[in-house]
Amino acid sequence: MSEVYEKLLKCYECYKERIDFTPKVALVLGSGLGDFAETIRVVDTLDYHDIEGFPVSTVPGHTGRFIFGYVGEVPVVCMQGRVHYYEGYEMSDVVLPARLMKLMGAEVLFLTNAAGGVKQGFHAGDLMLITGQIASFIPSPLRGANIDELGGRFPDMSQIYDLDLQRIVRKAAVTLGIDMKEGTYLQFSGPQYESPQEVTMSRTLGADAVGMSTACEAIAARHMGMKVVGISCISNLACGISPTPLSHKEVQEVADEVAPKFQALVTEIITQIGEM
């Protein structure tokens, strides 16, 4: 058995010993968006620290725990805090939580993040439905011995973000009167923000937003046959488009401002996923 799979199974054992809850939707809350957890009818929680071998974040503002509970009638597991590749973890550790949530029973992986807006016409505070991604600047989370128990060696990536879930997001946005943007998300490894030249390159390649997460988790989820949905909070215009230098503080402040709109949207989407 591969070391990566062995570690995953150990984490699963820790979960099984402490938690009796089967989620349908796995929700990952990005930078500054952690407050959504307060809207969940909580049944149980599990600190990442209490899971043997589980990667724990070093970034301020990223608390680390799983929350188990209900959004409406839908059972969800929610990650309050996630680790990023730039913290120094192996890619296999970065995607371990997504894999673990699949083992818990989740069928849908709902990814959120804060991202820099690249597309002309995007503004700080916009929400963007992720319709596609570029992961060519990060190592594949599937590199190394394939975990046959999870999925095949050469998984198809022609439609990473589920079309039915995209329709649900669009409908939820209309219901709530949110002007939802759409586009392609490009993941860089970070932690430095992009240079203006890298932002120009990103746009040339077809990216509409750039960030430091999400694409790797989406790949791992598709490997396992999970349905994936993703939303970026455009917390700033990317470097070279923004008139001011970027700061983590600005990213968090904008994400906090957007939080009420974002929370209402996520609630509406998950409720509709429950009716799928």
Q: Which residues bind ligand HPA (CB under 6 A)?
A: 114-116, 193-194, 210-212, 235-236, 238, 246, 251
Is 232 marked active-site?
A: no
Minimum distance of ligand HPA from residue 190's CB (angstroms): 6
Minimum distance of ligand HPA from residue 89's CB (angstroms): 17
Is 86 marked active-site?
A: yes
Minimum distance of ligand HPA from residue 191's CB (angstroms): 9
Minimum distance of ligand HPA from residue 241's CB (angstroms): 9
> Would you say 182 and 128 are in contact if contact means Cβ atoms under 8 Å apart?
yes
In the bound state with ligand HPA, the residue whose beta carbon lies nearer, of 45 and 57, is 57
In the bound state with ligand HPA, the residue whose beta carbon lies nearer, of 31 and 92, is 31
In the bound state with ligand HPA, the residue whose beta carbon lies nearer, of 7 and 82, is 82
Catalytic residue among 104, 202, 236, 238: 236
Catalytic residue among 114, 172, 220, 226: 114
Minimum distance of ligand HPA from residue 116's CB (angstroms): 2
Catalytic residue among 12, 87, 182, 264: 87
What is the Rg, in whole angstroms, of the alpha carbon atoms belonging to the chain?
Answer: 17
In the bound state with ligand HPA, the residue whose beta carbon lies nearer, of 74 and 129, is 129
Is 31 marked active-site?
A: yes
Is 157 marked active-site?
A: no
Is 136 marked active-site?
A: no
Of 268, 235, 271, 267, nearest to 250 by C-alpha is: 235
Catalytic residue among 70, 248, 250, 257: 248
In the bound state with ligand HPA, the residue whose beta carbon lies nearer, of 39 and 242, is 242
Closest residue to ligand HPA, based on beta-carbon distance:
116
Is 49 marked active-site?
A: no
Catalytic residue among 79, 98, 209, 212: 212
Measured distance CA(112)–CA(115) in Å, rounded:
9
Say if strands 181-187 and 127-134 run parallel, antiparallel, or are unpaired.
parallel
Residue by residue, DSSP assigns the chain as --HHHHHHHHHHHHHHHH-----SEEEEE-TT-GGGGGGSEEEEEEEGGGSTT-----STT---EEEEEEETTEEEEEEES---GGGT--HHHHTHHHHHHHHHT--EEEEEEEEEE-STT--TT-EEEEEEEE-TTS--TT-SS--TTT--SS---TT-B-HHHHHHHHHHHHHHT---EEEEEEE---SSPPPHHHHHHHHHHT-SEEESSSHHHHHHHHHTT-EEEEEEEEEEEPBTTBSS---HHHHHHHHHHHHHHHHHHHHHHHHHHHT-
In the bound state with ligand HPA, the residue whose beta carbon lies nearer, of 239 and 269, is 239
Is 62 marked active-site?
A: yes
Minimum distance of ligand HPA from residue 194's CB (angstroms): 6
Is 255 marked active-site?
A: no
The catalytic site residues sit at 31, 62, 84, 86-87, 114, 212-213, 236, 248
